């Protein structure tokens, strides 16, 4: 029952890797989607966010205004810590539930947790293998400008708000180099899938 964590900085190509692994048959659990799920109207998480950051982080229909919340916390480490203290425990509980459901449905499943903030939120990690999508910060910054329309300053700020590359690489069992072409990235993912039993044995031996 391998449980694989897939992480990487913003614009690192992590979602491309997750999609390819899903095509190979992995069950992918998306941490970003879990965050949205636990913040649905009526949830305790959403109520706590409104209490902590003000009712104006809610839209008129009672849903979370993500842009308003982001503006409230971005660049403020103390505010980000308060946000994480509310959201992360709920996400951990929901992710554990989904992992259990996936393995109950198929005990031989390969479950991949697509999680951008693995380094920032590490608590009692259950991962048998950690896969890191890696491209240099300057490459990711260019992608953010070209593909998402951010300014160079905004791109640098987004990258700077996350864990540094060396912190992610330090926990990696496997690194996928995503700085090159899409075909180069996909070949590495295909090789990872083919060699997954070997990678898992090596990780378990550590």
Block means of pLDDT (10 residues each) for the chain, 206 residues, are 92 96 96 95 95 94 93 87 92 94 94 91 80 96 94 91 92 95 97 90 74
pLDDT of the residue at 186:
98
pLDDT of the residue at 179:
96
pLDDT of the residue at 120:
79
pLDDT of the residue at 197:
84
Instruction: Please determine whether the domains at 1-26+110-201 and 36-106 fall in the same fold group of CATH.
Output: yes
Please provide the DSSP assignment of 136-194 as one string.
-HHHHHHHHHHHH---HHHHHHHHHTSPPHHHHHHT-SEEEE-SS-HHHHHHHHHHHHH
pLDDT of the residue at 124:
67
Q: What is the pTM of this model?
A: 0.89
Per domain, the residue ranges of the chain are 1-26+110-201, 36-106
| CATH 3.40.50.300 for the 36-106 domain, yes or no | yes
| CATH 3.40.50.300 for the 1-26+110-201 domain, yes or no | yes
Residue 20: closest CA among 206, 147, 178, 203: 178
């Amino acid at each position: 029952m391998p449980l694989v964590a897939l992480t990487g900085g913003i614009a690192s190509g992590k979602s491309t890797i997750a999609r390819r692994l899903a095509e190979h048959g992995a069950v992918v659990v998306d941490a970003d989607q879990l965050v949205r799920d636990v913040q649905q109207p009526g949830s305790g998480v959403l109520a706590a966010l409104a209490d902590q950051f003000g009712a104006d982080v809610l839209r008129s229909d009672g849903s979370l205004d993500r842009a308003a919340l982001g503006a409230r916390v971005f660049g403020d480490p103390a505010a980000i810590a308060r946000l994480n203290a509310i959201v992360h425990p709920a996400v951990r509980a929901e992710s554990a539930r989904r992992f259990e459901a996936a393995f109950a449905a198929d005990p031989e499943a390969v479950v991949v947790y697509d999680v951008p903030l693995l380094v920032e939120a590490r608590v009692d990690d259950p991962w048998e293998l950690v896969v890191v999508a890696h491209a240099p910060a300057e490459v990711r910054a260019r992608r953010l400008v070209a593909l998402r329309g951010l300014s160079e300053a905004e791109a640098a700020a987004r990258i700077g708000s996350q864990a540094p590359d060396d912190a992610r690489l330090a926990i990696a069992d496997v690194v996928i180099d995503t700085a090159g072409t899409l075909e180069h990235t996909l070949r590495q993912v295909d090789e990872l899938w083919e060699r997954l039993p070997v990678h898992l044995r090596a990780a378990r031996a550590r």
